[in-house]
């Protein structure tokens, strides 16, 4: 994970799209919906997207159906690979992923592509709101790509691995502080955190403009929280989406990190697993 290759600005993307080897562009607009009317990313895409972008659905193509592994478990690799090839993704072609600005869904797609071996994937920093060019409403049909996912190129944690890393290295909890402390829990069975995990909310990695903080600031932040000293680092969140954005931020800071995809939605579903509450990691 080379820091300069993890993200791309809107101006850099515009130049790349006009160049000799334009990137494949994926629109992954998604947001966690707790209201009765769920967010419709496909409708948002149809209303206007960056020209050439293909819509990818997080819930059905970047994750499997919710089960005992959590709310957004790893997708079936055949399903994921087919979705990427449909979008025109090939191993030798750069890929840029964007969402509506939060960055979480785009980072999930970035992480999956990097984890399954694609060498050149970047996230549009700040997402669609940073794009100043025209938008397109028609859906393109790019030539099929040849990407075949081969997992293992980035770190992946299961529940046991996350518990062990919280003791032997640094395990970040990317959720909001009040969920980490167990003061509120709007989604999962119970609040709190994995014993030993350190609170590191994803939202603190971005500025008021929605873009990631500069690499030096991110490195200082993670260093102050215990990372960057040679210890292994991992991240979890509620269901492995916002944590992917923290893995992205760590990559920009030059710190490799593993993702616990099952995250709190898997961990908290088993009453036998220990739970810590309060601001103390233990």
- How distant is the alpha carbon of residue 162 from its chain centre? 17
CB neighbours of residue 232 within 10 Å? 17
Q: How far apart are CA 45 and CA 28, in angstroms?
A: 9
Q: What are the φ/ψ torsions at residue 279 (nearest 5 degrees)?
A: -80, -15
DSSP label of 206: B
Write the DSSP assignment of 2-39 as a string of letters: -GGGTEE-HHHHHHHHTSSSPPEEEE-------SSS--
- The tokens describing 272, both together, are 């036998």
Q: Check 237, 247, 250, 258 and give the catalytic one.
A: 237
Based on the residue annotation, tell me whether 237 is a catalytic residue of this protein.
Answer: yes
Q: How far apart are CA 14 and CA 108, in angstroms?
A: 23
Q: How far apart are CA 172 and CA 199, in angstroms?
A: 6
Q: How far apart are CA 266 and CA 71, in angstroms?
A: 7
Q: How many CA atoms lie within 13 A of 209 on its CB side?
A: 9
Radius of gyration for the chain, computed over Cα atoms and rounded to the nearest angstrom: 18
- What residues does 157 pair with on adjacent strands? 260
Strand, coil or helix: 60 = helix
Q: Which residues are catalytic?
A: 237
């Amino acid at each position: 994970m080379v820091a300069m290759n993890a993200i791309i600005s809107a101006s850099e993307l515009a130049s790349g799209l006009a160049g000799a080897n334009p990137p494949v562009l994926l629109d992954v607009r998604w947001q966690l919906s707790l209201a009765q009317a769920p967010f419709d990313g496909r409708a948002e895409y149809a209303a206007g997207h960056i020209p050439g972008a293909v819509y990818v659905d997080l819930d059905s193509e970047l994750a499997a159906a919710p089960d005992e592994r959590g709310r957004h478990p790893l997708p079936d690799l055949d399903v994921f690979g087919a979705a990427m090839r449909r979008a025109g993704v090939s191993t030798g072609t750069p890929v840029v992923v964007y969402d509506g600005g939060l960055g979480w869904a785009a980072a999930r797609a970035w992480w999956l592509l990097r984890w399954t071996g694609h060498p050149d994937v970047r996230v549009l920093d700040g997402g669609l709101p940073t794009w100043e060019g025209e938008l397109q409403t028609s859906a393109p049909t790019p030539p099929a790509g040849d990407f075949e996912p081969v997992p293992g190129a980035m770190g992946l944690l299961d529940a046991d691995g996350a518990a062990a890393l919280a003791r032997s290295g640094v395990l970040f909890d990317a959720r909001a502080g009040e969920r980490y402390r167990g003061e509120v829990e709007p989604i999962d069975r119970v609040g709190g955190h994995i014993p030993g995990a350190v609170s590191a909310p994803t939202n603190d990695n971005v500025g008021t403009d929605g873009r990631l903080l500069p690499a030096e600031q991110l490195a200082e932040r993670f260093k102050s929280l215990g990372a960057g000293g040679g210890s292994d680092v991992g991240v979890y969140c509620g269901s492995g989406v916002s944590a992917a954005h923290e893995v992205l931020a760590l990559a920009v800071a030059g710190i490799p990190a593993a993702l616990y995809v099952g995250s709190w939605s898997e961990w908290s579903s088993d009453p036998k697993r220990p739970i810590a509450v309060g601001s103390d990691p233990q």
